[in-house]
Amino acid sequence: MIELEESKAKLEKLQATFTEMHDYLDIDNRRVILADLEEQATKPEFWNNQTEAKEIIAKTTAQRAVLRPFDELSKVLDDCAVMVELAESEPEGEARQSALEEAGESFSKADEVIGRIRLQSLFSGKLDACNAYLTLHSGAGGTEACDWANMLFRMYSMYCEDNGFALSVLDSQPGDEAGIKSITFRVEGPYAYGMLKGERGVHRLVRISPFDANKRRHTSFASLDVVAELSDDIEVEVKESDLRIDTYRSGGAGGQHINKTDSAVRLTHIPTGIVVACQSERSQHKNRAHAMNVLKAKLYEYYEDKKRKEMERFYGEKGDIAWGNQIRSYVFQPYTMVKDLRTNEETADVQGVMDGHLQKFIEAYLTQLAAKTMAAKPE
């Protein structure tokens, strides 16, 4: 049986959280900024300067992204208050319990929206709202590592499916016996890069090998690179003279056409040594366009890191795909545990993690990153 006093206490707590969020997110000022941006967008000369217009649209979208869930929370809390008030006006009995049950459902909805707002408040990076390109590489461990890379791809595929992100494979190299040597895929959806940027690094697996007749325990490694898909207003210059362009036949399923023509494209950026490939389309022209987008994204990340003199964040922190450079360990035997070595977040539910339940690790990283960013800001 749901108690009236308990529901009133819950409502009071949620309303206090709402007030804290209102002040923390500076909601009133955001509404003023949004109104000004929307007014600018209605002017006849708005599109005369395309670059400025796109910047205003991006700022408008960013403000709405904060205000929309906050307004949703306000409406849900109004519903909570109405149901609690209705329950209070009813005598003990079925009618009161029914109202309190409805209030409980609204409380759950409010908690969900608050969780979304809190998570979104952690996104402060310029590119956090962008789509993302992810590349998995198998590392030390041979066939074991190729199988591990394939398991990680399945894990991220399930995470994307559960969280409403669209995933499309751009390029894949199968392992010699099993799994994949490497795979590049695009993740599309709101804050895809912001969510997944903390997954960059080396992932370590410990398990009894299914490929070992003696059933010995093996350690395998795979690395993940994550870069943001750049919006049109971010320019990255790529000189044709700096590129080596190779075409080859696409592998895997796809019909006669895709296997009999050199439709796949590999781009090598000679000054940096960055290599990207795409074979997802039947058209060589489309594959080249996709590969160029990935290359520009990687070059942007490369040059940003170089500018900040923190190249270890892109390559050094990841380092060799082997011992000593992992960000997370996944242990299947002799016990079960997944542990992030940066945040110390851990769980014994290895299978749940492999089924895409990564949110607690992602949120722990984003919370830690936000705290570091705040601490680094001058007083």
Print pLDDT tens along the chain (379 aa): 678 999 999 999 999 999 999 998 899 999 999 999 999 999 999 999 987 887 888 788 778 888 999 999 999 999 999 999 999 998 888 899 999 999 999 999 999 899 888 888 888 788 888 899 999 999 977 889 999 999 999 999 999 999 889 999 999 999 988 899 999 999 998 889 999 999 999 999 999 888 777 778 889 999 999 999 987 667 788 999 999 999 988 765 444 444 557 789 999 999 999 999 999 888 999 999 999 999 999 998 888 777 655 444 444 444 455 555 689 999 998 899 999 999 999 999 999 999 999 999 999 999 898 888 776 665 5
Q: What CA–CA distances, in Å, run from 211 to 180, 218, 258, 287, 346?
A: 15, 10, 32, 35, 27
State the Cα–Cα distance between residues 157 and 167, nearest whole angstrom.
7
State the Cα–Cα distance between residues 42 and 48, nearest whole angstrom.
12
At position 304, the amino acid (one-letter code) is E
Identify the pLDDT of residue 242: 93
State the Cα–Cα distance between residues 230 and 139, nearest whole angstrom.
28
At position 9, the amino acid (one-letter code) is A
| Pair 171, 183: CB distance under 8 Å | yes
pTM over 0.85: no
Please name each of the domains of the chain with its CATH number. Answer: 4-120 (1.20.58.410), 126-324+351-379 (3.30.70.1660)
Tokens 């041979």 belong to: 142
At position 342, the amino acid (one-letter code) is R
State the Cα–Cα distance between residues 181 and 187, nearest whole angstrom.
20
Q: Which of 290, 293, 286, 292 is nearest to 258 (CA)?
A: 286
Identify the pLDDT of residue 43: 93
